């Protein structure tokens, strides 16, 4: 593990995103709340938040951190795509990029799991960091 003991605690924020493409009828089920397993986006939001809290258990050598907040947003792009954007924040000695990226991935996997009975061909993609703020290296924003 990288030694972060001498680093200064600062406010750190990271935003990550990802998408899931599906058949239009699958998106319609999600929008209408008619999926057999329940509120797909509500459960995916909870899964994303849980994912941030478990990141250090999933990613080897990733520091466990105390999160200050996690926000999960879903944007529906008709006719067939849901975009997830996660913002994670902490005050600490290491960033929250991995937590935000893990959360976006877990949210999309949850959507897949909840809808796979009607659409096994869903495609997850475009998972990436949008921005990070704070820390020794400063701010970074994706082009």
> ∠122-78-119 over CA atoms, to 5°?
20
Catalytic residue among 57, 113, 119, 126: 113
3 state DSSP class of 114: helix
Nearest-angstrom CA–CA distance, 86 and 74: 9
Nearest-angstrom CA–CA distance, 27 and 137: 40
DSSP letter at 115 equals H
Nearest-angstrom CA–CA distance, 122 and 73: 19
Residue with tokens 């005050």: 91
113 an active-site residue? yes
DSSP letter at 92 equals E
- Per-residue tokens: 30: 């999600």
Active-site amino acid positions: 113
């Amino acid at each position: 593990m990288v030694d972060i003991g001498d680093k200064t605690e600062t406010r750190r924020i990271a935003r990550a995103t990802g998408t899931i493409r599906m058949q239009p009828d699958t998106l319609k089920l999600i929008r209408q709340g008619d999926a057999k397993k329940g509120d797909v986006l509500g459960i995916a939001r909870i899964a994303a938040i849980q994912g941030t809290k478990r990141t250090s258990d999933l990613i080897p050598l990733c520091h466990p951190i105390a999160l200050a907040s996690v926000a999960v947003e879903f944007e529906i792009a008709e006719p067939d795509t849901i975009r997830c954007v996660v913002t994670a924040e902490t005050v600490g000695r290491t960033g929250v990029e991995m937590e935000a990226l893990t959360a976006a991935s877990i949210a999309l996997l949850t959507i897949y799991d909840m809808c796979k009975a009607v659409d096994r061909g869903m495609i997850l993609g475009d998972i990436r960091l949008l921005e990070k703020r704070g820390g020794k290296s400063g701010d970074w924003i994706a082009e």
